[in-house]
């Protein structure tokens, strides 16, 4: 079964500093990859997705992620964070064979941006 690992449960960072949130997935089969952001007591909002094509994916709010098939990773990056980026970030994957609808989520990384 597919699994997603987000090694960092919490990442503290100062405002305007760069940040990388790590995500690794287990399956060697072809996958779709997603990053979502969740603000307190709210649903999830899609930051970016990789379906096919270029391995560097750009998303909203200045985030980007790079799909690395050999390392089965999809790390999320932002060159300069803002206070408003403080939130929970979830990496998710779905197998191409079962379609993009059945998502498996990582345990999440809490990004804490301080002044």
State the nearest-atom distance from the C-beta of 101 to other proteins, in Å: 5
Query: Rounded to an integer, what distance in angstroms lies between the CA atom of residue 79 and that of residue 62?
Result: 8
State the nearest-atom distance from the C-beta of 48 to other proteins, in Å: 10
33 forms part of the interface with other proteins (CB under 8 A) = no
Q: Among 25, 67, 74, 90, indicate the residue that binds other proteins (CB under 8 A).
A: 90
Asked if residues 113 and 86 have their Cβ atoms less than 8 Å apart, the reply is yes
Express the helix, strand and coil content of the chain in percent, nearest 5 each: 5, 50, 45
43 forms part of the interface with other proteins (CB under 8 A) = yes
| Size of site (CB under 8 A) for other proteins | 21
59 forms part of the interface with other proteins (CB under 8 A) = no
Structure tokens at 41: 């007591």
Q: Among 42, 71, 98, 114, indicate the residue that binds other proteins (CB under 8 A).
A: 42
Query: Rounded to an integer, what distance in angstroms lies between the CA atom of residue 23 and that of residue 5?
Result: 6
Structure tokens at 85: 């980026």
- The residue ranges that bind other proteins (CB under 8 A) are 32, 34, 36, 41-46, 49, 51, 90, 100-108
């Amino acid at each position: 079964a597919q699994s997603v690992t987000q090694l960092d449960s919490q990442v503290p960072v100062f405002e305007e500093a760069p940040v990388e949130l790590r995500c690794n997935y287990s399956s060697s089969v072809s996958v779709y990859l997603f990053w979502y952001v969740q603000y307190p007591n709210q649903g999830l909002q899609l930051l970016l997705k990789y379906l096919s094509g270029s391995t560097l994916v750009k998303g909203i709010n200045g985030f980007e992620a790079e799909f690395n098939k050999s390392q089965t990773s999809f790390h999320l990056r932002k060159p300069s964070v803002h206070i408003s980026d403080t939130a929970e970030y979830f990496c998710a994957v779905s197998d191409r064979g079962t379609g993009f609808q059945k998502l498996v989520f990582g345990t999440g990384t809490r990004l804490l941006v301080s002044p």
